[in-house]
Amino acid sequence: MALSLAAASCVDRNLPAVQYPELDTTNPLLAEWRTPHATPPFSAIRLEHFEPAVDAAIACARAELDAIVNNPDKPTFGNTILALERHGQLLARIEGIFYNLMEADASEEMEQIAQRLQPKLTELSNDISLNPVLFARVEAVYEHPGLGLSAPEKKLLEDTYRSFTRNGAALSDEEKALYRTYSNDLSALTLRFGRNALAATNAFTLHITDPKQVAELPDFVKEGMAAEARARALQGWVVTLQAPSYVPFLTYSSNRALKEQLWRAYNSRALGGESDNTETVRGIVNTRLRIANLLGYDTYADYVLERRMAENRETVLGFLDELLAATKEYADADYRKVNDYAATLGFEGALMPWDWAYYSEKYKEAEYALNDEAVKPYFKLENVRKGAFLLANKLYGLNFTPNPAIEVYHPEVTAYDVTDEKGRFMAVLYLDFHPRASKRAGAWMTEFRSSKIENGVETRPLVSLVMNFSKPTDTKPSLLTFDEVETFLHEFGHALHGMLGEGEFASQTGTSVYRDFVELPSQLMENWATEKEFLDLWAVHYETGEPMPAELVERIVAAKNYLAAYANVRQLSFGLTDMAWHTIEQPFEGDIAAFERQAMAEAQVLPVVEGTAMSPAFTHIFSGGYAAGYYGYKWAEVLEADAFSLFKEKGIFNREVSGSFRENILSKGGSEHPMTLYVRFRGHKPSTKALIDKMQLGGE
């Protein structure tokens, strides 16, 4: 098929006659992009372009919707379901730029624009789902779909109908008015939550001027702290609450007082203060409950899980309980093991959370002769990137070529053309590696554009990976920790899901899958981080070029399940907290920290610290799309443990296995039910046994 190099336009010729508004094409967001692969012309886009562009795109979308609603012809899949799938393309293009930049390169002015745009976008969404004539047309097709629909078309019909019913289409007029109010409130609350969490993260710094307090730290930690201080025009050393700064200090400093101060700051972000999120959390969970009740569900989790692999809260809670029962005693043993080791070094009493990283690292170094300082020289960022690209080539035949003609949104970003072994253009990949004040914490994959086929013309995706990895210093390049290497592979797995997506409908391609299925490709990729056969191909010392010694690779492999039970239970505690918030059946007006402690109690391993709580900064569930879905990380671990066992059996670069994974999982997106796809790849349904076996509980 031909590749579309034209930008998404206001006009879709498949729609009935539409009376489109005139567009101001001097606004680059409304113009056709004559750029490589129709990539966004970032240098031409200014903040003042967004609001008028969104207003114009909303007008386009409304004109398209009016044409569907007023079509005198009998409702069909083509003139109703397909028309809805294809409407609003211009708006989607603009939103894809604005909200991705909001995450990766935000400013206070962008935040203000977002607050003004949010009510307009929510109103449009409600005007679609609550339009009785439009719903009647959708319902008519759903009840009499006709013959000859393909499997993806049947899935699109089902998804479209469910989207309407789950967004209030079947409510009475009075109930629809309430739904509009609640959905507007929820949009504003989640936006406020994310803004406050970022502000709270950026608000705290630990400024050290005494050289004695940093003397023991590895050079890479000190250099990073010194660079952070210089960037702020300060003398000495600075630690922030960004992971590449916060985690190394906790890991290598023996100064308990400073670590306690830092840990408490991190774990009380947005819990009070100028960026307080406690009322926002109450507002979000109570508004979600109101929406769920209005739609006929007892809890918000019941509403969410209806469209997940797990299907209901009983399954999720049973799943979490099963894993907790199988691993909690081993997690407690992990804690005692490190605590006992700390005692041999003169530590008295019980390890507190701010002690954990330091002594668990000491134990790992003593037991496995392994620490970050030993492995980081072999994990130069450029080499890790080379390794990820090499893996994609071995598994899927992909090639990555930097394309300086593609504009990027920040000087630190690099854009690549991605092609397959036959030279077919598959995607553009943007890589954005380092922390900055304008970027939210964490690591994520996103898309400026997804793939689709329309009128016989294929559009390929524009995929972006955004991370917060250790920055280069004056004397050293960016050298990654092993955890950061795993993070890179994880997000790269999401990118592969997006880049290898195939199909006609944008709403079904790539990562447009059930939330508890989306982490399978990403978590699967992490497995290669401890495979010697993979590391041997690219992990070389950044100064000498010498390959990583075999015995160091062996130590990495030996240590891969170090504290696996503890890490598992920690993740379960987050899932339990998420489910607790979203299974409330009455409005919550209580204490945020107390509620969270009770939710986590069964999975608590480290001592509880008063005055802290993760919920006010738990962006995954309160502003990041994982509400009643955080369990999905563990759910996907079960899937990936079972899936990777096939690679282990056949060979970690086996093209038959990777080809099947590409064909049955990566390329299919959300075109079929995920369990159907998984069984087609693996030959059976997964069970928790694969994950529990992988952790090798009780063994070294």
Q: Is the pLDDT of residue 343 over 60?
A: yes
Domain ranges (residues) in the chain: 8-129+131-170, 204-266, 376-564+633-695
What pLDDT band is residue 697 in, cutting at 50, 70 and 90? confident
Q: Is the pLDDT of residue 14 over 70?
A: no
Which residues are registered as beta bridge partners of 205?
240
Torsion angle of the four alpha carbons 617, 622, 626, 628, in this order, in degrees rounded to the nearest 10: 110
What pLDDT band is residue 8 in, cutting at 50, 70 and 90? very low
Query: What is the rounded distance in angstroms from the CA atom of residue 616 to the CA atom of residue 595?
Result: 12
Q: Is the pLDDT of residue 3 over 50?
A: no
Q: Is the pLDDT of residue 700 over 60?
A: no
Q: Is the pLDDT of residue 4 over 80?
A: no
CATH number of the domain located at residue range(s) 376-564+633-695 in this protein: 1.10.1370.40
Write out the DSSP string of 386-424.
HHHHHHHHHHH--EEEE-TTS--SSTT-EEEEEE-TT--
Q: Is the pLDDT of residue 371 over 90?
A: no
Alpha carbon 580 to chain centroid distance? 21
Query: What is the rounded distance in angstroms from the CA atom of residue 569 to the CA atom of residue 553?
Result: 27
Helix (H, G, I), strand (E, B) or coil at 207: strand
47: Cβ–Cβ under 8 A, 6 or more apart, which residues? Answer: 107, 109, 110, 113
3-7, 48-52, 288-292, 674-678: range with lowest mean pLDDT? 3-7
Catalytic positions are 491
Q: Is the torsion defined by CA of 7, 8, 13, 18 positive or negative?
A: negative
Q: Is the pLDDT of residue 5 over 70?
A: no
What pLDDT band is residue 681 in, cutting at 50, 70 and 90? very high
Section 498-527 average pLDDT: 95
Q: For position 437, what pLDDT does the model report?
A: 87
Tens digits of residue pLDDT in 303-315: 999 999 999 999 9
Q: Is the pLDDT of residue 16 over 90?
A: no
Section 572-586 average pLDDT: 98
163-167, 643-647, 683-687: range with lowest mean pLDDT? 683-687
Tokens linked to 663: 């064909």
Tens digits of residue pLDDT in 95-104: 999 999 999 9
Nearest to 380 by CA among 488, 479, 469, 472: 479
How many residues are listed for the chain in this entry? Answer: 700
Query: What is the rounded distance in angstroms from the CA atom of residue 322 to the CA atom of residue 603?
Result: 12
Section 125-138 average pLDDT: 96
Name the pTM for this structure.
0.87
Q: Is the pLDDT of residue 11 over 50?
A: no
Query: What is the rounded distance in angstroms from the CA atom of residue 17 to the CA atom of residue 535?
Result: 58
Q: For position 560, what pLDDT does the model report?
A: 85
Query: What is the rounded distance in angstroms from the CA atom of residue 187 to the CA atom of residue 286?
Result: 13
DSSP secondary structure code for residue 547 in this structure:
B
Nearest to 562 by CA among 367, 356, 693: 367
212: Cβ–Cβ under 8 A, 6 or more apart, which residues? Answer: none
Q: For position 105, what pLDDT does the model report?
A: 93
8-129+131-170: CATH topology is: Neurolysin; domain 3 (1.10.1370)
Task: Give the mean pLDDT of the chain.
Answer: 94
Specify whether the CB–CB gap between 438 and 107 falls below 8 A.
yes
